[in-house]
A and B are shown apart, each in its own frame.
Chain A
């Protein structure tokens, strides 16, 4: 037994310690809800809207910075405390998670507010030729 025993149960306990039990499970719930909503809009719309995805991508740096700031604030530390490659890799991971998380959120919010206008014909069974035309019309 040593510190390598970082199983899922242990990781959950560590995150509970880091963020507090309530905050951790709230964040987990929110992340799960955003992911579920994203999957929902993908299934509903049957395509990825690159216009929405563009705005989502623009939000990624904001999500990355916010996530890093949040973790550093919770751990009472700053970027000046990053001491070696593993520290920067962990921070990159945190930044990536924040970026992806916010991008999904922005995409989902856009999709829920602005439903695709041509969604009805998409759901209807179409001939192969028509389907191609619909995709062009929706501006995907």
Chain B
């Protein structure tokens, strides 16, 4: 933890102080953050991404005497909402990369390893290296696992301009290689395939954004007439929220972007550049010159093997079985879910993580005091849906089918705005 660490933390600390007033005001029945709670509880946080790292910082400030352990094997912290920008060539790989330890506070234990086993009855996790850690409370913030093997014929080594394969979800470096593939495609033209998997996925709007950015890039380069764009939706809509689906459909029709419903990518043949889609009518094969592969996403095996997954919904994906309002596990009250791992409808986004944090913190600390937490998660998620370089829709919504508006009367969620683009590109990473 060098200079960068202290710099990052001072900024985070400053910002948290700055936003603290607003958070406190927004709290309904929340407790004063100024009063540290004494506790000798052992808290294990599984994952040090946006959720895990933020929670560690919050708990260090709220608790006195608690033993907080953060477990994550990845040395790099990734700002994943930036992957779309990297994959479109608008930012370098380094834009999304910091050190995991940059974001962790002093006064916690950090184990640089992965949790491979959870025993919720014995209150114990085991790491890949064999280390066993007992807990009183477990916060699962392990994110999603990208199931690349589910796409037959796909190999990460094929990503790049040579094979016309993009896989920007994989990592910042792979996203940068994907940008080179997109750059070549928008130079040469041909058929570009885009789409999303049939599972839940983090930033469900990202495949649509990538399609729009690609079309805009070809338009800017003057190669638009040589390029064809086809978006493959996994179901009968282009976006889970009806009103936004129609807006996206309208943009696609206006910009001559083709779309197909109920087409789920199952295989690619890099040698012949043919993609195979599963459809209700059987497999459909489509030639491509460029393909943006977004794989199915699932919970980490440790979650599923421990029996912590929702037994009824998303059974092939294994998301954590939590109460959708309290984010507390349905059967193990000392386990909480944070971020993408949660089996809740709608968003797997960094925006949702921001809303999960105070809820989990409230219920966890109330439980330590023998009280009931009061905060409720409303399902908030946000998708700054980039429609071209310089424009975006700021789409926000929650468990209901209603649009949420942070700036009512000022920033319309269904209007292509420059300010929404500027917010996505400049305002979201620092906040």
Within 8 A of A (CB), among B403-431: 404, 406-407, 410-412, 415-419, 421-423, 425-427, 429-431
Contact call A7/B19, Cβ cutoff below 8 A: yes
Q: Which of chain B's residues has its CB closest to A90's CB?
A: B419
Contact with A along B1-45 (1 / 0, CB 8 A): 000000000010011011101110010000000000000000000
User: Closest residue of chain A to B12, judged by CB?
Assistant: A13
Stretch at the interface among B102-110, B132-140, B328-336, B388-396: B388-396
CB distance from B219 to the nearest CB of A (A): 12
The CA-CA distance from A7 to B21 in the complex, in Å, is 9
Contact status A84-B430, CB under 8 Å:
no
**A133 interface residue per 8 A CB criterion:** no
B421→A5 contact, CB < 8 A? no
Contact residue range for chain B? 35 or more
Q: Across the interface, which residues of A come within 8 angstroms of B354, CB to CB? A: 1
- Report whether A75 and B425 are in contact in the complex, using a CB–CB cutoff of 8 Å: yes
A14 CB–B CB distance under 8 Å:
yes
Expressed in whole angstroms, the Cα–Cα distance for A4 and B411 within the complex equals 11
Q: Which residues of A contact B425 (CB under 8 A)?
A: 75-76
Is the beta-carbon distance between B417 and A84 smaller than 8 angstroms? yes
The answer to whether B411 and A14 have CB atoms under 8 Å apart is no
Chain B residues with Cβ below 8 Å from A18 are 422, 426
**With A9-B17, A77-B418 as given contacts, are A3 and B423 in contact (CB-CB < 8 Å)?**
yes
Interface residues of A in 1-30 (CB under 8 A from B): 1-10, 13-14, 16-18
A2 vs B347: C-alpha distance when bound (angstroms): 14
CB-contacts of A36-77 with B (<8 A): 75-77
Q: Which residues of B contact A14 (CB under 8 A)?
A: 426-427, 430-431
A91 to B22, CA, bound (A): 28
Is A81 a contact partner of B14 (Cβ separation < 8 A)? no
Residues of B within 8 A of A13 (CB): 11, 15, 430-431
The 9 A-B pairs with the shortest beta carbon distances in the complex, nearest first, are A9-B18, A77-B390, A81-B390, A13-B430, A3-B406, A87-B418, A83-B417, A18-B426, A83-B416
Chain B CB within 8 A of A86 CB: yes
Q: Is B90 positioned at the interface, with any CB of A under 8 Å from its CB?
A: yes
Complex CA distance for A78 and B388, rounded to whole angstroms: 12
- Give complex CA distance A74, B4 in Å: 25
Q: CB of A32 within 8 A of chain B?
A: no
- Report which of A1, A9, A77 forms a contact with B421, defined as CB distance below 8 A: A77
Beyond the given A77-B391, A81-B421, A87-B417, please list 12 additional residue pairs across the A-B interface where CB-CB is below 8 A.
Answer: A1-B358, A2-B355, A3-B427, A6-B427, A9-B19, A13-B431, A75-B418, A77-B389, A77-B418, A84-B415, A86-B407, A86-B419
> Which chain A positions have C-beta within 8 A of B415?
83-84
Q: Does A82 contact B (CB under 8 A)?
A: yes
B78 at the binding interface (Cβ < 8 Å): no
Distance from A55 Cβ to chain B, minimum over Cβ atoms (Å):
33
B23 contacts which of A1, A17, A78 (Cβ < 8 Å)?
A: A1
Residues of B bordering A, CB below 8 Å: 11, 14-15, 17-19, 21-23, 26, 90, 354-355, 358, 380, 382, 388-391, 394, 396, 404, 406-407, 410-412, 415-419, 421-423, 425-427, 429-431
Q: Tell me which of B355, B421, B431 contacts A10 (CB under 8 A).
A: B431
A93 to B53, CA, bound (A): 37
Most buried by B among A4, A9, A76: A9
Identify which of A1, A10, A17 gathers the most chain B CB atoms within 10 Å of its CB. Answer: A1
Quick one: which of A3, A78, A81, A86 contacts B382, CB cutoff 8 A? A3
Chain B residues within 8 Å of A83, by CB = 391, 415-418
Complexed CA–CA distance, A14 and B18 (Å): 13
CB-defined contacts of B429 to chain A, threshold 8 Å: 17
Q: List 28 A-B contacts (CB under 8 A).
A: A1-B19, A1-B354, A1-B358, A2-B382, A2-B396, A2-B406, A3-B396, A3-B423, A4-B22, A5-B22, A5-B26, A9-B17, A10-B19, A10-B430, A14-B427, A75-B418, A75-B421, A75-B422, A76-B389, A77-B389, A77-B391, A77-B421, A81-B391, A82-B418, A86-B417, A87-B417, A87-B418, A90-B418
CB pair B90–A16 under 8 Å, yes or no, is no
CB distance from B110 to the nearest CB of A (A): 25
A87–B416 Cα distance when bound, in Å, is: 10
Check B426 against A75 for contact (C-beta < 8 Å): yes
Beta-carbon contacts of A78-107 to B below 8 Å, as 1s and 0s? Answer: 101111101100100000000000000000
Of chain B, the residue at the smallest CB distance from A19 is B426
